[in-house]
Structure 1
Amino acid sequence: MIGYYPQQRAYADPRESFIDQHMPLSGSNYSSAEQYLEANGSSNWFDIKLEYALPWGATEAGGLVNYEIKNGLLVSAPSGGSEWNPLTTGASVLVLRQFNRYQSFEFENDKLDGAVHAIELGILYDNTDFPINPSYGSSQYLSISHDAGWLESDSQWSFINLDVSKYFSIGPSEYASQRVIALNFWTGYSPSWELEYNDNNDRRVTNSAPYNEGATLGGFYRMRGYDQNRFHDKAVIYGTAEYRYTLKANPIEDIRWLRFLHLDWFQLVGFVEAGRVAESYKTSELLSDIKYDYGVSIRAMMAGLVIRTDLAKSDEGTNVWIMVDHPF
């Protein structure tokens, strides 16, 4: 993706600047929503991902799993969820990703820019019945990312990530073909992240992931009531719960000129989220002054993809996000 954006925003401080000791770092948990950089600039990225399905469980016979669906719901055998055993159920996948980003902020008398050239190595165990739209089971993803300061990268950093989801089916009802409670927990830690101080005890962050990588909250995946990448720090904790109610009724099913959408169902969702970033991975810090938001969502299965529109409210405002896939 190569793009140039007007009024590009980053809740971050210039990397070389020391911040007054009495002022919170931009993007930290106690920072103001008015602490950001904004200017026209480029945002270009290029990712390469290799996934290897391990030869056991649902992928014992091959790397692909076939699913048969009717009206957007699974009718063939599920790939997982009946028990937690990677050797017999679910899919275990090794992930290798090389990702790159260049971003610039072109102010009237100055220009800030930076690049990322990093590698992520992870392992996923997806033990859900139907990964596109899970109704029961669980998934776990553990990974580590590292940027060694290659090429244009001017910082070395590392980040460890754990993402866990659990799904409970409570069955159909008079008006719903499927009702699901979905839970997600995410946490991460950057061992390379450090604070450097000058003679005035002012500080700046070194060896950290950029504001849009690593321990980051806010946007269309996590903490949807806040701006994109609103919070970031050394450590992060996040949890959410969703109630997904898939309607039996499909008001556009018989509208001939809309059949090209291949729309199988509509889904109503209510959700709550809580999260916190911090300068250390301490329970006393991560579990105090937690940020919260809540919202509703309308989702649809179109041509085998879940499309969602989320409306979320927090203490900093209300956001609307339009995105592909469930957030987890």
Structure 2
Amino acid sequence: MSRLFLMGLVLVSTLVRPAWAEEPQSQNSEAAPAASSSTARPEGRSAAVPFIFTTSSMGFSVGAAASLQGVLQERSQLVAVGTYSENDSYVAFLGAYNLHFGDSGRWFVDLQAFDARMRETNVYIDGNPNFDTPAGSHGSSGENMVLGEESQRDFYATLRYVLPFGAGEHSPQRRARLVAGIPVAPEKGEQVGAYTSVEFEPFYRERTVEGFDGQFQKDKTQGVSLKLDHDARDFIPSPSRGYRFEAQLHRDFGSGERSSYTKWEAQYSHYLNFGASNWSKQQVLALTAYTSDVPTWDSGAEGHRPPWFAESTLGGWNRLRGYQSGRFHDRSAVFYGAEYRAIPRWQPQGAIPFIDRYYFPWWQLAIYGEVGRVHDSYDLSELHKEMDWTVGFGVRMWVENVVARVDWGFSEEESQLRVVVNQPF
């Protein structure tokens, strides 16, 4: 079981209106302070979050997260996170989002950098002398892993262009009609529909594993990906209506030290709004389906395959949340998830001293179920047999225009408690 206990949390911020990548429109006097009208110019806001926690891989840890909105540009956001632990593990993240350029206003850039070292962790790769079957494959033992130190390093630069048709014909800036931070149905005559964008993303990812038994393995992948995103959700942070379809193609052209490969993945998500009830302000059923494949897996004499962490993977923050990240990985994968989300009418946080300083209009309950499987060929019949599963529940909090998520997932092997940001889909 993954242990994660939040020991303390202190929020420090300068209280100025936040900037919005997705511009809100207030509907009435109940709208939250951050939901300024569509004609108002948002200002910058800064927030910092020191925290203390303990995990099985890092031990006792301290860290901080900071967000700067509207600093570089009107609706840009800078995010920085850093942690350090008693066993000399660390995590560092830096991101810059929603940077825009060009006269059309349709070009956007996101930049992300991640570096981490876990001194004691489980990695599902081959090397355990007690097993001769592939680690991470479907049906593999949960004990078929390497225990040791893992270092991670990721860099992404995403160039996005919003196409001039559909909902994005007249403006690439999205607008959500909110009441107390909750999206409501558009009024008659308001523009609705899907925003379609294309993305070009150079990437670099690296993993180094040093097993306690002396094993050493270093893998990396670098290349580019192309993505088509067709998005008709009513509110990106926490949708209540609409749908989204994503299709992405990854290509690593290889080098003398690594194999070239091609990988594709696609995901469709749909959101059904069941309205309010006597006890809830909002009820939503969120559904998703995902699949991926590496078509170059068996091409050539030796195959053209990505490193284990870039294969079709399940387990982690968003898919099969009852398993550790990268628990399952192989050539292909399918995944299905359903999540019921409800925002209770009982919202006491506005009356709690100190917390009432922050924009915290709602918290949300979630119950979810998931199934998925990996396989060594893209065989849809085989991928739907004996699927692995996860069930769980969680709490979501809309704090300072960010969805903070706490999920507890249960599977046949273990349970996983995670504190992350953003909805899983």
Are the structure 2 counterparts of residues 107 and 293 from structure 1 closer, same or farther at C-alpha, using a change threshold of 3 Å?
Answer: closer
Instruction: After TM superposition, list the pairs within 5 Å mapping 1:134-213 onto structure 2.
Output: 134-150=239-255, 154-194=258-298, 206-213=303-310
How many Å apart are 1:259 and its aligned residue? 2.3
List runs of 5+ in structure 2 lacking aligned partners: 1-113
Partner SS state of residue 346, structure 2: coil
User: What is the letter of the counterpart of residue 3 of structure 1?
Assistant: A
Matched, 1:11 2:120: no
List runs of 5+ in structure 1 lacking aligned partners: 83-87, 198-204
Q: Which residue of 2 aligns with 1:318?
A: 415
Q: Count residues with an aligned counterpart.
A: 309
Q: Which residue of 2 aligns with 1:240?
A: 337
The equivalent position to 2:380 in structure 1, one of 261, 267, 283, is 283
Partner SS state of residue 288, structure 2: strand
User: What is the letter of the counterpart of residue 193 of structure 1?
Assistant: W
The answer (yes or no) to whether the contact 1:67–1:76 under 8 Å persists in 2 is no
The equivalent position to 1:112 in structure 2, one of 217, 235, 241, is 217
Matched, 1:2 2:115: yes
Supply the distance in 2 between the matched residues of 1:194 and 1:5 (Cα, whole angstroms): 33
The equivalent position to 2:154 in structure 1, one of 9, 32, 45, is 45
Supply the distance in 2 between the matched residues of 1:291 and 1:65 (Cα, whole angstroms): 37
Q: Which residue of 1 aligns with 2:328?
A: 231
Supply the distance in 2 between the matched residues of 1:196 and 1:139 (Cα, whole angstroms): 36
Q: Which residue of 1 aligns with 2:104?
A: none
Q: Which residue of 1 aligns with 2:95?
A: none
The answer (yes or no) to whether the contact 1:136–1:169 under 8 Å persists in 2 is yes
Q: Which has the larger displacement, 52-61 or 62-71?
A: 62-71
Supply the distance in 1 between the matched residues of 2:203 and 2:196 (Cα, whole angstroms): 22
Which of structures 1 and 2 has the larger relative contact order (alpha carbons within 8 angstroms, sep 6+)? 1
Partner SS state of residue 133, structure 1: coil
Partner SS state of residue 327, structure 1: coil
Are the structure 2 counterparts of residues 303 and 288 from structure 1 closer, same or farther at C-alpha, using a change threshold of 3 Å?
Answer: same
How many Å apart are 1:38 and its aligned residue? 2.6
User: What is the letter of the counterpart of residue 348 of structure 2?
Assistant: P
Supply the distance in 2 between the matched residues of 1:156 and 1:176 (Cα, whole angstroms): 51
Matched, 1:35 2:144: yes
User: What is the letter of the counterpart of residue 319 of structure 2?
Assistant: R
Supply the distance in 2 between the matched residues of 1:62 and 1:247 (Cα, whole angstroms): 34
The answer (yes or no) to whether the contact 1:115–1:153 under 8 Å persists in 2 is no
The equivalent position to 2:400 in structure 1, one of 300, 303, 311, is 303
Instruction: After TM superposition, list the pairs within 5 Å mapping 1:44-83 onto structure 2.
Output: 44-75=153-184, 77=186
Partner SS state of residue 237, structure 1: strand
User: What is the letter of the counterpart of residue 260 of structure 1?
Assistant: R
How many Å apart are 1:206 and its aligned residue? 4.5
**Identical columns (%):** 27
Partner SS state of residue 243, structure 1: strand
Are the structure 2 counterparts of residues 107 and 226 from structure 1 closer, same or farther at C-alpha, using a change threshold of 3 Å?
Answer: closer
Partner SS state of residue 44, structure 1: strand
Q: TM-score normalized by structure 2?
A: 0.68
The answer (yes or no) to whether the contact 1:10–1:211 under 8 Å persists in 2 is no
The answer (yes or no) to whether the contact 1:69–1:76 under 8 Å persists in 2 is no
Q: TM-score normalized by structure 1?
A: 0.87
Partner SS state of residue 115, structure 1: strand
Are the structure 2 counterparts of residues 260 and 7 from structure 1 closer, same or farther at C-alpha, using a change threshold of 3 Å?
Answer: same
Matched, 1:95 2:199: yes
Supply the distance in 2 between the matched residues of 1:100 and 1:10 (Cα, whole angstroms): 20
Supply the distance in 2 between the matched residues of 1:170 and 1:208 (Cα, whole angstroms): 44
The answer (yes or no) to whether the contact 1:8–1:105 under 8 Å persists in 2 is no
Are the structure 2 counterparts of residues 107 and 281 from structure 1 closer, same or farther at C-alpha, using a change threshold of 3 Å?
Answer: closer
Partner SS state of residue 173, structure 2: coil
How many Å apart are 1:262 and its aligned residue? 1.6
Q: Deviations over 1:19-56 (max 9, x none)?
A: 99x94311100111111123224211111111111111
User: What is the letter of the counterpart of residue 168 of structure 2?
Assistant: T
The answer (yes or no) to whether the contact 2:291–2:335 under 8 Å persists in 1 is yes
Q: Which has the larger displacement, 95-104 or 2-11?
A: 2-11
Supply the distance in 2 between the matched residues of 1:41 and 1:49 (Cα, whole angstroms): 26
The answer (yes or no) to whether the contact 1:135–1:169 under 8 Å persists in 2 is yes
Partner SS state of residue 309, structure 2: coil
User: What is the letter of the counterpart of residue 218 of structure 1?
Assistant: G
Q: Deviations over 1:233-267 (max 9, x none)?
A: 11101001011111122111122411233211111
Runs of 4+ in 1 over 3 A off after TM superposition: 75-78, 107-110
Supply the distance in 2 between the matched residues of 1:130 and 1:153 (Cα, whole angstroms): 44
The answer (yes or no) to whether the contact 1:189–1:236 under 8 Å persists in 2 is yes
User: What is the letter of the counterpart of residue 219 of structure 2?
Assistant: G
Question: Over aligned residues, Cα RMSD in angstroms?
Answer: 2.6
How many Å apart are 1:153 and its aligned residue? 5.5
